[in-house]
Amino acid sequence: MPFEAWITSRNAAYRGGHLIEDEADLWTTKMLPEFVRSREWLIRQKLLALTPRTVQGNAHRNFERTVP
């Protein structure tokens, strides 16, 4: 199944639960690199939220969102 067909067949709850940005502009093959960067950022944010504050210190600087 092509990526675009697959991603558009998923509902918002599925996308949210799997940390997939709810921006249809990212759901094309052409935008796949940006889709991956966006999802990596969401995953990092989720992991940081689960990490005790005492450990996070420098982690926030290393996981800042970068926009090309």
Residue 67 located in a structural domain: no
Q: Which class for 57: exposed (0-12), middle (13-18), buried (19 or more C-beta within 10 A)?
A: exposed
Residue 68 located in a structural domain: no
Residue 36 located in a structural domain: yes
Question: 55 vs 17, which has greater pLDDT?
Answer: 17
- If you average pLDDT over every residue of the chain, what do you get? 85
Q: Which class for 66: exposed (0-12), middle (13-18), buried (19 or more C-beta within 10 A)?
A: exposed
Number of structural domains the chain divides into: 1
Identify the band that residue 51 occupies on the pLDDT scale cut at 50, 70 and 90.
confident
pLDDT tens, residue by residue, 8-40: 999 999 999 999 999 999 999 999 999 999 999
Domain extent at residue 29: 3-62
Residue 53 located in a structural domain: yes
